């Protein structure tokens, strides 16, 4: 049983994390394991959206072109992922939440 199968079920059974918080952790984990040479961010955002959609949660609107160009949004995203690497998901949750509320 893999991460995507095991943990959301555990979190839902225990009520320990909201669907949104589960999604942020799933998104981070998929980026971190880096299964492909290219496209890991796109893949993790797609799976993240599918997870949210399946759980009737509003979806973020990912700023695709801004995530590929060095600068503000990309740097915020990478900083949030690096913070999550250390176990602090707050920055990634805030980043993703802004993408839901802004659109």
Residue 80 parent element (H or E): helix 72-85
| Nearest by Cα to 58 from 20, 4, 15 | 20
Task: Out of 10, 27, 28, 34, pick the active-site residue.
Answer: 34
For the chain, the first-to-last Cα distance in angstroms comes to 35
Let me know if 27 is a catalytic residue. Answer: no
**Residue-wise DSSP of 10-79:** HHHHHT-S-HHHHHHHHHHHHHHH--SSS-HHHHHHHHHHHHHHHTT-PPP---HHHHHSSSHHHHHHHH
Q: Tell me the catalytic residues.
A: 34
């Amino acid at each position: 049983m893999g991460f995507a199968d095991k943990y959301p079920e555990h979190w839902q059974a225990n009520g320990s994390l909201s669907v949104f918080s589960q999604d942020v952790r799933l998104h981070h984990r998929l980026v971190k394991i880096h299964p492909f040479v290219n496209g890991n961010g796109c893949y993790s955002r797609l799976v993240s959206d599918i997870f949210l959609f399946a759980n009737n949660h509003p979806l973020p609107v990912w700023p695709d072109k801004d995530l590929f160009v060095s600068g503000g949004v990309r740097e915020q995203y990478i900083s949030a992922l690096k913070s999550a690497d250390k176990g602090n998901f707050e920055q990634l949750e805030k980043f993703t939440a802004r993408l839901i509320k802004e659109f």
